[in-house]
Each structure stands twice: as structure tokens, then as C-alpha cells.
Amino acid sequence: MADVPARTEIGVTTGPIRGSKKVHVGPLGVAMREIHLDPSSGEPPLRVYDPSGPYTDANARIDIMAGLPQLRRPWIDARGDVEAYDGRELRPEDNGQLGPDRSGGVPQFPNPVRRPLRAKAGMNLSQMHYARRGIITPEMEYVATRENLGREMLRDYKRDGESFGASIPDYVTPEFVRDEVARGRAIIPNNVNHPESEPMAIGRNFLVKINANIGNSAVASNVAAEVDKLVWSIRWGADTVMDLSTGRNIHDTREWIIRNSPVPIGTVPIYQALEKVGGIAEDLTWEVFRDTLIEQAEQGVDYFTIHAGVRLPYIPMTAKRVTGIVSRGGSIMAKWCLAHHKESFLYERFDEITEIMKAYDIAYSLGDGLRPGSIADANDEAQFSELYTLGELTHRAWAQDVQVMIEGPGHVPMHKIKQNMEKQLEVCGEAPFYTLGPLTTDIAPGYDHITSGIGAAMIGWYGTAMLCYVTPKEHLGLPDRDDVKVGVVTYKLAAHAADLAKGHPAAQMRDDALSRARFDFRWRDQFNLSLDPETAEDYHDQTLPAEGAKTAHFCSMCGPKFCSMKITAEVREFAAKQNQSADTFIAADAGDAERALFASGKGSVADAEAGMAEMSERFKAKGSEVYLPAAE
Amino acid sequence: MADVPARTEIGVTTGPIRGSKKVHVGPLGVAMREIHLDPSSGEPPLRVYDPSGPYTDANARIDIMAGLPQLRRPWIDARGDVEAYDGRELRPEDNGQLGPDRSGGVPQFPNPVRRPLRAKAGMNLSQMHYARRGIITPEMEYVATRENLGREMLRDYKRDGESFGASIPDYVTPEFVRDEVARGRAIIPNNVNHPESEPMAIGRNFLVKINANIGNSAVASNVAAEVDKLVWSIRWGADTVMDLSTGRNIHDTREWIIRNSPVPIGTVPIYQALEKVGGIAEDLTWEVFRDTLIEQAEQGVDYFTIHAGVRLPYIPMTAKRVTGIVSRGGSIMAKWCLAHHKESFLYERFDEITEIMKAYDIAYSLGDGLRPGSIADANDEAQFSELYTLGELTHRAWAQDVQVMIEGPGHVPMHKIKQNMEKQLEVCGEAPFYTLGPLTTDIAPGYDHITSGIGAAMIGWYGTAMLCYVTPKEHLGLPDRDDVKVGVVTYKLAAHAADLAKGHPAAQMRDDALSRARFDFRWRDQFNLSLDPETAEDYHDQTLPAEGAKTAHFCSMCGPKFCSMKITAEVREFAAKQNQSADTFIAADAGDAERALFASGKGSVADAEAGMAEMSERFKAKGSEVYLPAAE
């Protein structure tokens, strides 16, 4: 199926990803994608995790002007702990305007939230709060079904991987989800004012997730482009999206994004607060910041990045760095602290912020404002000092049953990545880690989706729960549509490589299905099973455009006359022809010899020669019957 | 400097990489590239490793029809152990022709080698042979100077990295190179009939190298395109190039490539041998193969991939695999062995092949014909059985003082990569490992330069000496010029990330120089210091095309009004203003607290709180004077 543009003023890409269809599983209708394989494969459709929402559902009618259906609203109402109230009035400064004049503004979303929900007096809406009281919410049930993807298809599956102490279950039950949320090892970010979202979990015992950043800036972008990027990024696999808009129209842009997003939306509220005080960091006040939190809470932001770990005493530790403070939020707070010679108001008012979080069920993403911005600054004193404070704040948030994840670096050479994961797990009580990259070298601007994809795959393997994507434009400019896709696909493959290495029960099914398709020359299946079917098919067609080549039993690498996979097929037929399966008997013998060598742990060349000789002997002894021509 | 096309019938890209100039260092005139920085940086030019040869030398006159100057010829002659002789006559089948009719052929290189060199009777030309007799050759001296890159600029450099037992010296002496070659831990591939090459070393105690594959196939490509790809791939950093041509015109194409290559050229001779017998694997004979080795030895091929480890008893072990045998050479030999029910002639005739290798100084690249072609097949019995045989053959080659490296996988999930490196080091006596990727997942065709770049960076860190690149077209089609560049740059950044993590003394200099340029908003320096200046500048200009933006003290991510780096600069000025440097005093105190926590290895949150509290106390106590306004 080709991409079908939706009938809306704001164009977004809709329609199923080719070769796939949307399915809804179980009583909650959990959304998944089914990739259909050629009948010749004799294989059932493969189900894959699918954050793309109704946009890839052939039966869904998409209307950007109306927003998505409110999937979770009945669940929220049923709990009886929320009240609707008259929301905060929109003010010109919310969109960076100095007065009522809206010229230079963007169109307002037709039907914004006017009567937002919040907790009734004394109530706590956080999923962690329910979990700790033993309540399994529909959100938790949805997550359990969603994460179980394919596991039921695993009959005699052998667990294989190194999980570094994670507790990945063979099967995810709603009770397991509840327990992980109660312990703080996983979060389900979903503001009651974002009922359009499909519940998802971020935690090291679940599939590794990825985040895509979008948002307009002071110098570029517009609302239509941002909504398009939202839909485009989840189409290719983004599990959450952060709106990092700066400059004007922040409020209106965010409304369009949230109303049309099936995935959790995160923001960095200090960005908008800074705009409200004309970009002068020292003019920031707790009141302006608090007002911004309420504004965004009412719109439905699911998680807030709060840089409360940037404390006054740590700031001078950055003076000797090669790249100082590179986090925008971190540097805003650093400037405020220095200008006032005061401790950060985010740190001082942390418990008041937590009160707001629990009234809407917003999760903390504790920002790493002092993360290293270069290889030279990795794992330094400023970075780890802040991490210890984030650990302290994690426990303060948990004391009020509020969900927390921790943001991580940044720029880190490979040999220093593991220490980041280990310290975070230890100091933050296994709260989910959410890292940016890390970039493993600084010398490849233009390729930082790759320098960071390397670090992302590794830290995901070590235990990071969500990876924040990096696009090819990192350090150079604002990502366009193509950059967003490349960034998302790169991070999807890194997250998947991490799931494989951790030994996630169902992760390898897709690799194996694609490998079988490759071996059988089922080109279409190979394209459809890949993370980016369009690019895979396009690359194939650049060399062999003929339609026939899609079914040809050769590829452009070897050509028709000779093909290694064809020869392997012959080897297989040959082995199959034997009265006794060749691989069971030769390999079994070889196996004994080899296993002995491997077990000895020091298979010297002498050992090897001995093993080989032994095998050759046995082989020659039995060879004649193994290789008895089928004819005879 | 822009790219200047050479004045030749076959167009290649010449001229310096922008912002750089070629320099020749020391008595041997070792080629390096100097990147010039803006005077405002107060930094000297940065020297980087440069395999691009005369093509990037503004003073060199390039003539593809004449080939490159014979840099090493005088060194070879001076040793007095070679003799020129009448080379083997060119035959139609060498180019896949059935008769004298050359229609469909490619133009012959105007001046091919007619009187090749070889060892005088009883002589051994291998660099390993000289090394073991205590002789330091000019090739070894050249390598020492080349590898020392930047080390002399390292005054108070702190070694930082995890090298997994490598022996990377602070300074590389010619004697160190000799010793590494003598031990077999490094190779210097340079056939006496390829005197145009600039000596380079492949070994785990030197910089990690990368290889690019080129070559026409039965279905595509031509000689001009291949020569262009050669020059293009070394321009961006390929340290060696393999000509994997199949189909027709193999001999002539290779002549053009070798005569114009400043880097070692590798081949897989069995490919051409197969063409000589009409593509029928079972018709291969030792005589045809031997004839092909001589043909290629006389042309100047520097290393041969020989799949001598694919032994008869191992073949049935592949029958149960998901993707069987994916190595072309491996499957050719598998088919031959099965068809004849015989042990591989490559294994049986190994010592005769070694005799040829030492007569021309050709290095072995022992092929992994049974490497896994999918995640499912990684680290299996067939793969490791072959590896043990490669270990046996390594020692047999060393017994004749012939240089060896070992080829490795393939497709391997992250948690199984290290085992590959450890087994190879153990079984092959630390002979250099030369791996393809490995790909860490199978689900991203179209992005396999990235799925494999992840594995390549990791295995390079663990000890792999050379990484064979993978392009975005892997599994799908033949790489074009753009794919080659993306593949090379991706592998350069992976190799560099590995050098950083191993703690290579000079590796971080480039990262730090680029990070300083980034922090100072020296955009041009940032572009020029990157692996791909053109792409970096292009990406920047897509958002901020104005020339002024090249010197603007902001970027498109934050815009002019607010910039985190500007704020950091203020933090730094602030700290500098203190009568006592803030970071030395606050950080020193904090340092004690933090170091105590880190040292305790179990900095619990309680510890952390204590540490933080202690620091806050000290800070408050001294705060007033730390933050004494400069004015007072």
C-alpha cells in the first residue's frame, strides 16, 4: 500500500506501512502491526510493536482539525478521582506575543481543552499510586498485552543473552507491569488531559523504547511541519515525542501536537518559561515557572524534563570543561543561580512541583543539565555530582508516588558508557534511564546519528529503558522530514540490537523471519520485514529494477550464474538425502571434539589440530556412507 | 579547496580535502594531512592519518593512464633479493573471454607490468622474514612515522582507555614495528609488484584500519567506475581496498586499480578462478587456481583471501543453519568438496600456496567461508570449527615467515561479539583480526552500514585490527559512489571510536580540537575537522545559508536570543573573576566528597545526600566570598 495523504488542511502521511495491516488485540483492542509473508513461506503473519496509532489504520478516518479519539477517557472517568474545572485562560505571552495582536501567530487548534481534568482534593492520579495500592489499571493491562508481542508464538525458545541483572520475564502479566510501576522500575507516562494516548511503558524489563524530538525554533519551522513530523516519526517507530519548541507560538503548536498524538508527549517547561520573561534567564521566577507547568499540565503533556539537579555548588565544576554546559535547560538554571547567588528554585521547590505532577499524572524526566558535551568532559565530577542529586530527587518524588525517569548523557567514549549505567541504577534505585545517544566520538558531525547509535545500542544493552534519537543534523541544524526518519530508524535498530543482546524472548523472531526470507529470495518479504521497506526496495531496484528481479533467485551481488545461497540450498538437499542426516552425525562427532576444545577454555592450536585430525578420521571412516550418492 | 577533476580519460576526484593540505614528514616523506585552524584558535594545524595518496596533493600531477610513481621500487631493488622475469602471458580467459575477440571488453591499461619481480631462488621477500632476522625495512620505518601521528604533541597526556590486553606504546619506534611484524601481531601487506603503495600496518597495537570493497559484477559496473571508486574510497579514509570483481574483464580492471592505488589491494582469487572454468565450481582444479595466484601475484595484489578453512567435515554442520553458507568463496569450496567427496585443495595445497606468497610478499587473509549470515547462526559450531583450522594454518604460514591476518564475521548480536575476538586471539596467536561488521541485527536492510557499524566499533575496541566496511546497499544491490562514501565515513568513525576506547595516545586530539571549535563557534574549523567537511557544511547551510552564520555566535538549534554555550562562557568568565578560582575550591571540596562516594563503590542515596549536604554546607560557609562581585 502506498502512502495516502489525509484529507486535512495540515497534511500528514497516513495509510498502512506496505505489506502490513493494523490489528487490535484482546478486550482492550491493543494496537499492533501485522506483517504478511508470502504464502510460499508457510509462515504466519509477524506481529510487531506499533506506536503509529490510527494513522496507519486503513479503516481509521484521520482529521487533524478534530484530533484523535479519546481512547483512555472512559478509564479515567471510571476511576472517579478526577474533576473537570475551568482551565487557565490563554495569555498572549503563552505564544510569545506581547499583546492581543496575533500576527505572526499560527492557527489555533479548533477545539482546545477548555475544561481540563485534575485530581479531586487529596487524590493522586499517578499510575505509581494505583500500582502501590495493588490496583491494576487498564493502562497496565494494555501495556502487558502490547509488550507480549509474539511471545505466545515461542514454543521451544531458548533464552539467549546477557541482561546485566535485568528481570525480563518470559511472559508479561498485568501484575508484572503493576509491580514494575510500583517499584519505580517502569513508568507509564499519560497525563489525564492526554486521553488520546495509547499506554506504553518505559523500563529496563520491557522493550527498549526510543524518543524523537520535534519542535519549532526561534529561527525556523511552523505548526504544520511539526504535526507532520509527529505523525512521520511515530510512523517509523518513535515511542514518545518531545516538543522542544522555542520562540513564538509554543502554546498553540503544542496543542496541535498533543491533540493528534497517540504517543506520550514530553516537554522542557523551562524553555517556555524563558520565553515568557523575554529570554532573560535571570528574570525567571518560581511563579512564572509554576504557571507554565499548570498551562502545560492542562494541555496534557505526559512528562516534564525538570533540571532540578543543576545545583549552585556544581556550576563552577564546569568551568574547566572543554564544552562547559551544553544542556539548554542546564545553562538557563546555571545562569539564574549565578545571577542570584541562590540555590536553584527547581531544587528548592521540588516537592511543590511533585504536587502538580500527581494531580495530572505527569511523569518526571529528571534532566541532566550538566551532561558532558564532548568526549573530553565525559564522566566528570559535575556530571556525577548532578546524578547523585537526581538520585536524591527520585526518592523524594517516589515518596509522593510520582513516576520518574532519569536523563543521561550525552558524549561518552565506549569504555566509559557502562559506568554511566551502573551508577544510574545504583543511585536512582533502578528508575528508568533515558539517554541521549551517547555519542562515542566528536569527529563526525553530519553522521552523529551513527556516532550516537553505537553508544545507544550499547547503553540500551546495559539497561537503558529509552533512547533519545539523534539525527544527522545534530550540532549543525534543524532536522527536516528525511532527517527525522533516518534518526528514528537508526534508533529503532539500535534499540532492537539491545533487545537481542539482552535476550528479550521475542526479539529474534523478526531477525529470523527476515533471514529466512533472504535465504529463500523472498525479496518482498525481506523488504516488508525491514524497518524501512521503502528504502530497502528502492536500493534493490537501483541495481535490478526489473519486476522479475523481485522473485529472481539471485541478487546483484553475485549475479545469476553463481550464488552462494543457491549452493547452500544444494548442501542442504545433499545432507537431507542421506539415510542418516549428515549434520547430526558429522556435526555431532565434530561437536564432541569442538565442545571439548571450547570447554577446555584454552583450545590451543595443538588441541585444535588434534580435534580436527580426530574429526577427519571419523569422517573418513564414515565418509563413504555419508556421501553415498542418492542414486545408489 | 573544491574538488578538481583530473585531466584523464578516466575521471577521478583530486585536490586537497577542504581546509587541509598534504604534508610529507621525515626522510621518507611520509604522507599526512594537515587540517588548518582559524588563527583565532591559537592552535597549530592538526595532523591526521591520510591514506588518500597523491590524489589529494595539490602539487601532484595525476595521470590515471600512467599510474602512480613507484615509491617503494628503490627500497625493493636495494635489498637485492628480487629478480625480474618474463611474466605469464595474458590469456582471453583472464578476462572471461572465450577467444581473442575483445568485444565487450574494457580498454587495457596502457603500460601493464610485463617483467614482474619475484624472489631469487631460495629467497623470501616477506616483511615478516626480514623482521625475524632483525632487519628494519624502510617499510617499517614508514609505518612507524605514519602511526606516530600527533604523539609528539602529547606533553602531559593521561592514558585513558580499556585495551583488553593490547600493547599500545606511547611512542611507535621502527623497532616496535619490526617486533610486531616478527611476532605476527601486525602485517605490512605490500607485494613487490605493487611498488606504488604507501606502507601501512594492520595490527591491534596500531590504529584501527578500514577496508573498502569495490569491483564490477556479472550484472553491473565498469572499469572507469571502479577506478573512480578506488580513488573516492581512499579520499574518505579507506586504508586498503579489495577488488571483488566477478564476471568479465577481471584482469584488466584489476590492472587499472593496482597501478593507480597508493593503498594495498586485496582480492579473492577463487572468484577469478571460478570464471576461468565457466562458473562451474566442481570444475575448479589446483592448476587453474595456482595459475590465477601467479597471474594476480605478478600484477601486484598485496593480500589474498584464501578460504582454506572450509574443510569437508565442517560442511554438513551448516545444513541446519537459517542462512547456511553466505560466503561466496566458502560456498564455492563447499560445492567443490561435496561434488568430489574430497578435502579442499586449498587446505591440502596450503604450503604450496605459502611458497607463492613468500616469493612476492603477499599476505594471507584467511577467509571465514563459514561465517554466520544471520543472527541465528552466530558463534555456531561450523564457524568456530573453521576458526580452529585458521589457527592451524596461521602457524603453518608463520613457519615459512609469511604474513597472515584472519577474516571474521559477519552477523553477530552484541552479546556474542567479544567471544569472537577472544577465541581469535587465542587460537590464531594474536594474528590481526579482520572482520566484516559484524551486523548486530538483521532487520534493517538499507541501514546495514549502521547495524554493522555498531558491531564494528565494539569489535574494534576489543582488538580487531581492520574493519571491512559495509555500505547502505548491503544485501540489496551494488554500492554506487555515494554509498561508498557513506560506508567509508561510517567505518572511519567506528574505527576512531574504537581507538578512543582502547586509549590510543593521540586519538582524542581530533575530538578535542573539534569540540573546542564547536564551543568557540568556529564553524569552518568544525567542518574542516570533521570526517566529511562537505556534508557537515551542507547540513549547516540548509538551515542557516547566510555566509554570516559561519561566524555567528549561535546556531539554528537555539537561535540568537539564547544559547547554552554563550551562557557557559559567562560561567567561565565568572569563575575566572574569582580571586580564588571557584572550580578549584568548590570542586576540590566537592571532589573530596564525591571521590569518597565513588571510591566507596556503593554511593547509596544516603551517602549521596550526605555528600551533597556536606558540599552545600561548605559552599554556604564560603559562598559569600566565592561569589564576591568582581567590582568590589
Put simply, the answer to whether B571 touches A325 (Cβ < 8 Å) is yes
* pLDDT, position A383: 97
Task: State how far residue B216 is from chain A, nearest Cα, in angstroms.
Answer: 9
Q: What is the mean predicted confidence (pLDDT) over B384-401?
A: 98
CA–CA distance, B530 with B17 (Å, rounded to integer) = 11
Q: How far apart are the first and last CA of chain B?
A: 52
- B452 neighbourhood in chain A, CB within 8 Å: none
Q: Which of B389, B475, B571 sits opposite A518 (nearest CB)?
A: B475
To the question of whether residue A242 is assigned a binding role by annotation, the answer is yes
Give DSSP secondary structure letters for A135-152.
---HHHHHHHHHHHTTGG
How many Å is the maximal CA-CA distance in chain B? 95
- A492 neighbourhood in chain B, CB within 8 Å: 444
Phi, psi of A320 (to 5 degrees): -90, 0
Cell triple for B472: 547502505
Residues whose CB is less than 8 angstroms from the CB of residue B290 and which lie 6 or more positions away in sequence, other chains included: B349, B352, B353, B356
Which residues 297-326 of chain B have a CB within 8 Å of chain A?
Answer: 311-326
Task: State how far residue B214 is from chain A, nearest Cα, in angstroms.
Answer: 11
Confidence of residue A437 (pLDDT cuts 50, 70, 90): very high
**Does the CB of A562 have a partner CB in chain B at under 8 Å?**
yes
pLDDT digit string, tens, across residues B83-138: 999 999 999 999 987 666 666 678 889 988 889 999 999 999 999 999 999 999 99
To the question of whether residue B368 is assigned a binding role by annotation, the answer is yes
Confidence of residue B542 (pLDDT cuts 50, 70, 90): confident
Sole residue written with cell 541446519: B320
- DSSP letter at B62? P
pLDDT digit string, tens, across residues B460-503: 999 999 999 999 999 998 899 999 999 999 999 999 999 999 99
Sole residue written with cell 553508544: A455
pLDDT digit string, tens, across residues B202-248: 999 999 999 999 988 765 558 888 999 999 999 999 999 999 998 88
**Does the CB of A561 have a partner CB in chain B at under 8 Å?**
yes
Q: Which of B429, B492, B542 sits opposite A477 (nearest CB)?
A: B542
Give DSSP secondary structure letters for B396-429.
HHHTTT--EEEEE-SB--GGGHHHHHHHHHHHTT
- B521 neighbourhood in chain A, CB within 8 Å: none
To the question of whether residue A213 is assigned a binding role by annotation, the answer is yes
* pLDDT, position A630: 33
Task: State how far residue B83 is from chain A, nearest Cα, in angstroms.
Answer: 36
Put simply, the answer to whether A571 touches B325 (Cβ < 8 Å) is yes
CB A212 within 8 A of CB A484: yes
- Residue A533's SS3 state is helix
- Residue A408's SS3 state is strand
Q: What is the mean predicted confidence (pLDDT) over B527-540?
A: 96
The pLDDT mean for chain B works out to: 87
Helix (H) or strand (E) holding A473: none
Distances (CA, A) of A273 to A254, A307, A333: 14, 13, 12
Confidence of residue A581 (pLDDT cuts 50, 70, 90): very low
Supply angle C-alpha A296, A234, A359, rounded to 5: 25
Residue B366: beta bridge partners?
B306, B406
CB B560 within 8 A of CB A217: no
Put simply, the answer to whether B515 touches A322 (Cβ < 8 Å) is yes
Phi, psi of B404 (to 5 degrees): -140, 140
Confidence of residue B373 (pLDDT cuts 50, 70, 90): very high
**Does the CB of B108 have a partner CB in chain A at under 8 Å?**
no
CA–CA distance, A336 with A353 (Å, rounded to integer) = 18
Residue of A287, A284, A216, A295 whose CA lies nearest to A479: A216
* pLDDT, position B372: 96
pLDDT digit string, tens, across residues A240-298: 999 999 888 899 999 999 999 999 999 999 999 999 999 899 999 999 999 999 999 99
pLDDT digit string, tens, across residues B179-205: 999 999 999 999 999 999 999 999 999
- A327 neighbourhood in chain B, CB within 8 Å: 564
CA B133 to chain centre: 28
Residue of B397, B303, B302 whose CA lies nearest to B347: B397
To the question of whether residue A407 is assigned a binding role by annotation, the answer is yes
Q: How far apart are the first and last CA of chain A?
A: 51
Q: Where is pLDDT greater, at A611 or B475?
A: B475
Cell triple for A332: 538557563
Q: Where is pLDDT greater, at B550 or A473?
A: A473
Put simply, the answer to whether A414 touches B562 (Cβ < 8 Å) is no
Put simply, the answer to whether A219 touches B544 (Cβ < 8 Å) is yes
**Does the CB of A590 have a partner CB in chain B at under 8 Å?**
yes
Which residues 132-171 of chain A have a CB within 8 Å of chain B?
Answer: 161-162
* pLDDT, position B612: 40
Supply angle C-alpha A168, A172, A178, rounded to 5: 95
CA–CA distance, B295 with B495 (Å, rounded to integer) = 33
CA–CA distance, A215 with B560 (Å, rounded to integer) = 17
* pLDDT, position A604: 37
Confidence of residue B505 (pLDDT cuts 50, 70, 90): confident
Put simply, the answer to whether A313 touches B619 (Cβ < 8 Å) is yes
CA–CA distance, A368 with A352 (Å, rounded to integer) = 20
Distances (CA, A) of B403 to B77, B181, B244: 21, 8, 21
Task: State how far residue B162 is from chain A, nearest Cα, in angstroms.
Answer: 6
Sole residue written with cell 558532558: A372
CA–CA distance, A484 with B125 (Å, rounded to integer) = 54
The pLDDT mean for chain A works out to: 87
